[in-house]
């Protein structure tokens, strides 16, 4: 329609319009920081709430990440113990060992004969005295098998175990991996929990920002009416509010990152002690720089989205009268 | 500039505000709009500024059929109209400069251009040098002039004033009207809604009178006024 074309035409040349578009964006973005700075207490409170809300899912993410590295390092430790039938002679056992060494799934094989097994048990269990009263050695000979990397996962190691159990002279085998399976199941559960909690907290962040922006809109009601009367488009009026939401998100995200680093720093000593007990010397990982960027980007998106929802709903309702 | 053709407005709830209104304000014309409170003055101004839309009939502003203007395009139409209000509608926490500059900032003028135009507009209304003041520090008459400066800063084709002299004494009122005359001399169409009949009587402009939502025969220069209108 001709009339519409006439109406939308700005009084500026097109190049000027494009330049001014960016200048306005920068100005309005900066102005919205100024607006936050004018009420530092309430702005900081909102940002702190956002920071705490975001830090929880991010902290759980750190936890999952660290748990993953730990279980990965432990799954390499999968070891199969094969208990030899009672009364087999040395020769038979040696031929078994060399047969197992031929398996492509096997990385290492160690043979511990009855005497060695007893000596080890005496040394480790602390029952040395008691054992010396026994007339015969009750311990069976053991062949320990360490699978290759490919077969050290719980499933792979299990397959190898059932195969080894079919060997002659093997009474039964034992795969000490159940706890690992449980741990992995636990971590899967943890991951899901993290996801669910993260989703809820993300929702909370959107609602908090939406509500904060709603209050900001209500506070500036008369200003918005005046702007509408002198011909401001909705895009122009809503822009400062969207920028405010983005700033809330960015600063909230950075606060969350700081909180997590403090948390990791606080927990690091305790975790190192715990891992030390498991003969593991893993450093607790914090959020990397990329993850910081992701966190801040996500937070600023949530800020924009929360304020967009609010602006959509409340800005329209304000009409000059 | 403004043309109403058989315009009616019924608010939701059944209140009939305007009935079958016809009038035409020509380009470059200055006119008064009078009537009791409740006669439909405010509704008529709201129809011109597209705050409300007509229930029936056609409204043309500056050649645009209002019915064809979508919600999205309303702001662009409002930029062609300078509006002045009885209660000024100024932003009290901003300086005079910021208030007057608002339409230019919205339009997207550069800072230098904004400064130049604001200075010119303030000069025209006799407030040159008060850019840095806050409206709250100014007198009622000065605040009204800030509102006028904001209305004319974008050089609109049409000036609408809603009770611009409502809170002012007769001398200040006359000053404000003289100001409108100078804009009118420069080619701007002006429509002033007022119930200050004494003021109208002293000026030689067409008067449009609303009574209970109907437009009475447009009164030409020199016609006697009936009491109570």
Residue A213 falls inside a structural domain: yes
CATH of the domain at A99: 3.30.70.3040
Q: Are A244 and A36 contacting, i.e. CB atoms less than 8 angstroms apart?
A: yes
**CA-to-CA separations, A109 to A144, A158, A199, in angstroms, rounded:** 6, 17, 48
**Angle A110-A71-A289 (CA atoms, 0-180°, nearest 5)?**
135
For A3, the closest of B68, B75, B83 (CB atoms) is B68
SS3 A321: coil
Domain final residue pick, A131, A158, A176:
A176
Of B100, B70, B59, residue with least CA distance to A8: B70
Question: For each of chain B's 229 residues, which pLDDT tens digit applies?
Answer: 899 998 999 988 888 888 888 889 999 999 999 988 888 888 899 999 998 889 999 999 988 898 888 888 899 999 999 999 888 889 888 899 999 999 998 888 888 899 999 999 999 888 888 889 999 999 888 998 999 999 999 889 999 999 888 777 888 888 888 889 999 999 999 999 988 888 888 888 888 998 888 888 644 444 444 444 3
User: Per the structure, how many domains does chain A have?
Assistant: 2
Residues A38 and A100 in one domain: no
Residues A308 and A190 in one domain: yes
Q: Which two tokens stand for residue B199?
A: 């003021």
What burial letters (b/e) apply to A160-185, b meaning 16+ CB within 10 Å?
bbeebeeeebbeebebebeebeebbe
ipTM at complex level? 0.85
Residue A263 falls inside a structural domain: yes
Residue A289 falls inside a structural domain: yes
Rounded Cα gap, residues A124 and A298, in angstroms: 52
Task: Look at the block and give the residue holding tokens 């009268």.
Answer: A321
Residue A59 falls inside a structural domain: yes
**CA-to-CA separations, B111 to B71, B97, B127, in angstroms, rounded:** 29, 12, 20
Q: Which two tokens stand for residue A231?
A: 């011909």
Contact A3 B79 (CB under 8 A): no
Residues A62 and A211 in one domain: yes
What burial letters (b/e) apply to A226-249, b meaning 16+ CB within 10 Å?
bbbbbbbbbebbbbbbbbbbbbbb
Q: Nearest-CA residue of chain B relative to A22?
A: B108
Q: Which strands form A106-112's sheet, in the order they lie side by side?
A: A106-112, A142-147, A80-84, A170-175
Residue A320 falls inside a structural domain: no
Residues A63 and A193 in one domain: yes
Task: Work out the minimum CA distance from B157 to partner chain A, whole angstroms.
Answer: 13
Partnered with residue B190 across adjacent β-strands are B30, B159
For A7, the closest of B64, B107, B154 (CB atoms) is B64
| Residues on chain A touching B79 (C-beta within 8 angstroms) | 230-231
Residues A196 and A155 in one domain: no
Residues A192 and A299 in one domain: yes
Domain final residue pick, A176, A196, A214:
A176
Task: Look at the block and give the residue holding tokens 């004319």.
Answer: B152
CATH number of B2-80+156-215: 3.40.50.300
Contact B91 A222 (CB under 8 A): yes
Partnered with residue B18 across adjacent β-strands are B9
pTM for this model (two decimals): 0.73
Contact B89 A226 (CB under 8 A): yes
The DSSP output letter for A173 is E
Q: Are A43 and B127 contacting, i.e. CB atoms less than 8 angstroms apart?
A: no
Domain final residue pick, A153, A176, A199:
A176
Residues A193 and A99 in one domain: no
Rounded Cα gap, residues B107 and B76, in angstroms: 9
Per domain, the residue ranges of chain B are: 2-80+156-215
Q: Are B48 and B2 contacting, i.e. CB atoms less than 8 angstroms apart?
A: yes
Residues A153 and A185 in one domain: no
Residues A188 and A60 in one domain: yes
| Residues on chain A touching B100 (C-beta within 8 angstroms) | none
Task: Work out the minimum CA distance from B104 to partner chain A, whole angstroms.
Answer: 10
Residue A319 falls inside a structural domain: no
| Residues on chain B touching A235 (C-beta within 8 angstroms) | none
- Close Cβ partners of A284 (under 8 Å, ≥ 6 residues apart): A66, A264, A267, A268, A271, A272
CB pairs under 8 A between A and B: 80
Residue A321 falls inside a structural domain: no
- Close Cβ partners of B114 (under 8 Å, ≥ 6 residues apart): B101, B104, B105
Residue A17 falls inside a structural domain: yes
Rounded Cα gap, residues A275 and A270, in angstroms: 9
Q: Are A310 and A241 contacting, i.e. CB atoms less than 8 angstroms apart?
A: yes
- pLDDT tens-digit series, residues B167-203: 778 888 888 888 899 999 999 999 999 888 888 888 8
| Residues on chain B touching A11 (C-beta within 8 angstroms) | 107
Residues A101 and A144 in one domain: yes
Does A185 contact chain B (CB < 8 Å)? no
Rounded Cα gap, residues A142 and A79, in angstroms: 12
Residues A55 and A113 in one domain: no
Half-sphere exposure of residue A60: CA atoms within 13 angstroms, side-chain side? 19
Contact B51 A233 (CB under 8 A): no
Residues A117 and A167 in one domain: yes
- For residue A207, what are the domain limits? 2-73+181-314
| Residues on chain A touching B89 (C-beta within 8 angstroms) | 222, 225-226, 229
DSSP output for A80-130: EEEEEPTT--HHHHHHHHHHHHT-TTEEEEEEE-HHHHHHHHHHHHS-HHH
Question: For each of chain A's 321 residues, which pLDDT tens digit applies?
Answer: 334 445 655 666 777 778 877 887 888 888 888 878 887 888 888 899 999 988 888 888 788 777 777 766 665 557 788 888 877 788 888 888 888 888 888 888 888 888 888 887 777 777 767 777 777 777 788 888 888 877 777 777 778 888 888 887 888 887 776 777 777 788 788 888 888 888 998 899 999 999 999 999 998 888 899 999 988 988 889 999 999 999 999 999 999 999 988 888 888 777 777 767 766 666 667 778 888 899 899 999 999 999 999 999 898 888 877
| Residues on chain B touching A1 (C-beta within 8 angstroms) | 68
Three-state secondary structure of chain B: CEEEEEEEEECCCCCEEEEEEEEEECCCCEEEEECCCCCCHHHHHHHHCCCCCCCEEEEEECCEEHHHCCHHHHHHHHCCEEEECCCCCCCCCCCHHHHHHHHHHHHCCCHHHHHHHHHHHHHHCCCCCCCCCCHHHCCHHHHHHHHHHHHHCCCCCEEEEECCCCCCCHHHHHHHHHHHHHHHHCCCEEEEECCCHHHHHCCCCEEEEEECCEECCCECCCCCCCCCC
Rounded Cα gap, residues B135 and B143, in angstroms: 6
């Amino acid at each position: 329609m001709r009339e519409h074309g006439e109406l939308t035409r700005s009084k500026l040349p097109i190049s000027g319009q494009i330049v001014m578009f960016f200048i306005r964006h920068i100005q309005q973005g900066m102005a919205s920081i100024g607006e936050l700075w004018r009420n530092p207490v309430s702005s900081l409170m909102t940002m702190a709430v956002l920071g705490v809300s975001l830090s929880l899912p991010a902290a759980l993410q750190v936890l999952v990440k660290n748990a993953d590295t730990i279980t990965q390092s432990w799954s390499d430790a999968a070891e199969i113990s094969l208990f030899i039938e009672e009364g087999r002679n040395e020769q038979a056992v040696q031929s078994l060992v060399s047969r197992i060494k031929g398996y492509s799934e096997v990385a290492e094989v160690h043979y511990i004969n009855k005497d060695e097994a007893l000596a080890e048990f005496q040394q480790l269990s602390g029952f040395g005295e008691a054992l010396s009263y026994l007339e015969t050695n009750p311990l069976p000979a053991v062949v320990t098998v360490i699978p290759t990397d490919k077969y050290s996962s719980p499933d792979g190691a299990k397959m190898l175990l059932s195969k080894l159990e079919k060997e002659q002279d093997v009474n039964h085998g034992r795969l000490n991996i159940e706890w690992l399976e449980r741990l992995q199941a636990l971590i899967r559960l943890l991951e899901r929990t993290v996801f669910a909690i993260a989703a809820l907290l993300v929702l909370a962040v959107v609602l908090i920002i939406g509500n904060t922006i709603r209050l900001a809109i209500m506070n500036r009601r008369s200003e918005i009416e005046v702007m509408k009367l002198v011909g401001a488009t909705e895009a122009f009026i809503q822009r400062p509010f969207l920028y405010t939401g983005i700033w809330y998100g960015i600063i909230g995200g950075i606060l969350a990152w700081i909180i997590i680093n403090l948390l990791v720093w606080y927990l690091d000593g305790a975790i190192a002690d715990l891992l030390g007990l498991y003969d593991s010397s893993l450093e607790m990982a914090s959020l990397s720089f990329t993850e910081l960027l992701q966190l801040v980007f996500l937070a600023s998106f949530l800020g924009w989205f929360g304020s967009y929802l609010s602006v959509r709903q409340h800005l329209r309702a304000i009409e000059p009268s | 500039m403004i043309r109403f053709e058989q315009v009616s407005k019924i608010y939701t709830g059944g209140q009939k505000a305007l009935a079958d209104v016809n009038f035409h304000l020509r380009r470059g014309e200055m006119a008064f709009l009078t009537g009791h409170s409740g006669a439909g003055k405010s509704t008529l101004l709201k129809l011109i500024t597209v705050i409300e839309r007509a229930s029936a009939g056609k409204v043309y502003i500056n050649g645009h059929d209002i019915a064809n203007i979508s919600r999205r395009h309303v702001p662009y139409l409002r930029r062609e109209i300078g509006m002045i209000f009885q209660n000024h509608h100024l932003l009290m926490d901003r300086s005079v400069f910021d208030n007057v500059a608002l339409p230019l900032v919205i339009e997207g003028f550069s800072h230098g251009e904004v400064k130049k135009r604001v200075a010119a507009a303030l000069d025209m209304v006799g407030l040159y040098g008060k850019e840095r003041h806050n409206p709250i520090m100014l007198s009622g008459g000065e605040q009204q002039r800030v509102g006028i400066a904001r209305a004319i800063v974008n050089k609109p084709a049409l000036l609408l004033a809603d009770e611009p002299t409502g809170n002012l004494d007769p001398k200040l009122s006359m000053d404000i009207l003289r100001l409108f005359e100078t804009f009118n001399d420069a080619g701007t169409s002006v429509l002033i809604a007022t119930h200050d009949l004494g003021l109208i009587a002293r000026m030689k402009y067409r008067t449009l009178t609303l009574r209970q939502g109907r437009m009475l025969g447009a009164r030409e220069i020199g016609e006697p006024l009936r009491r109570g209108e």
